[in-house]
Amino acid sequence: MMRISWIDYLKAIGIFLVVYGHTAGVLPFMEKWIYSFHMPLFFLVSGFLMKPNRLEGSFKTFFIRSTKSLMPPYIIFSIICYLFWLLIARNFGMDKELEAAPIFPLLAILYGTSSHATIQLTPIVLWYFPCLYLAKLLSYAAFKPPKTYLCIIFSALLLAIGLVIPRNIVLPFELEDALIAQFFIVLGFLAKKKNITQYFFSHKPYIWGAIFLVTGSIAAMLNGRIDMRSSVYSNFAYFMCSSLGITLGLAILCAQLPKCKPAEIVSKNTIIIFPLHFLVFSFFSAVYVYVFHNLELRILPSVSFFSSIANILLLISISPIIKKVLPWAYGIKSETALSKII
């Protein structure tokens, strides 16, 4: 299947912002902008890449396929990260101070949450897998009504349920967040089905791209800090405006660019970069302490930026080894299909 270059650009930008957003030196205004849209971006892309014929089949078939494609990577990367925490990370820094019992992160894997204060996934970025899994299953239900407007209404009702769930209630497999995420998946799918993106790609794209990007960025700055994992949206209208506006603006502008091999390579490896970049940052912290004898280096904006790039490059370089040693962990055989998970 032919790759979509602007999707590769979007995913490459998105995963870089995920990594950079997790550094200690990211500037506050930049962190606020990143968190306003970087996770909705991946859910929108997931919806855009969803094939209509998959939704026409039975729920059982859709359920089995979703389980096979998302649960193996979730389980294997959770185990890798858990073992790293158990054997290394919990003996240093904040983890050492917390003195968390080894059973709690293990229970978090089974419960599929990173929101509980005690039972929490390690690292917390793993929340994306169970959230996407349930969001896809919920989106299947949202697509059952025969009319498009009924699909949107049903999906909006699910979203409303997610918004009224109190933040102190932690549901299994990030259900409270999946109720929000499914709405972005539905919008992404409908944008492709109705050729909405193609209109903006071909009608004054630079003007439309700038309008959406600027409008979304203004909404992001007017809003409070967003943390989708913790169901923190501040002003939800601003959140929707920033997440949709910035993502669409970037998509329109990226669609005007020629194909880029580096962007494609990064895009293909998001499945590896997403769960493992925290482990690489732990290695970098060790270098700052034991080589440079200065942990404070990591809070410098320039160091954060370049360490994010180095993090991604390192994981890309070892990705062939990971794929060869643990091919079953991805749950699918096709590399093209693999790149669509995240």
Q: Could you write out the DSSP letters of every residue in 107-125?
A: HHHHHT-S-SSSS--SSGG
Is the Cβ–Cβ distance between 14 and 42 less than 8 Å? yes
C-alpha separations of 215 from 94, 187, 204, 233 in Å: 39, 19, 17, 18
Q: What are residue 227's DSSP bridge partners?
A: 232
Give the chain's domain count.
Answer: 1
> What's residue 339's pLDDT?
47
> What's residue 334's pLDDT?
43
Q: What are the backbone dihedrals phi and psi of residue 227, each rounded to the nearest 5 degrees, phi first?
A: -145, 90
> What's residue 1's pLDDT?
56
Q: Is the peptide bond before 123 cis (omega within 30 degrees of 0)?
A: yes
For the question of whether the overall pTM of this predicted structure is more than 0.85, the answer is yes
Domain residue limits at 73: 5-338
Question: Tens digits of per-residue pLDDT, 185-205?
Answer: 999 999 999 998 888 998 899
Q: Mean pLDDT for each 10-residue chunk of the chain (342 residues)?
A: 89 97 93 97 96 89 92 93 90 71 90 83 92 96 90 96 91 95 97 90 94 98 94 96 98 96 95 94 91 89 95 96 80 48 54
DSSP annotation of 298 reads G
Give dist(CA 210, CA 311) in Å, integer.
Answer: 30
Length of the chain: 342
Is the Cβ–Cβ distance between 245 and 216 less than 8 Å? yes
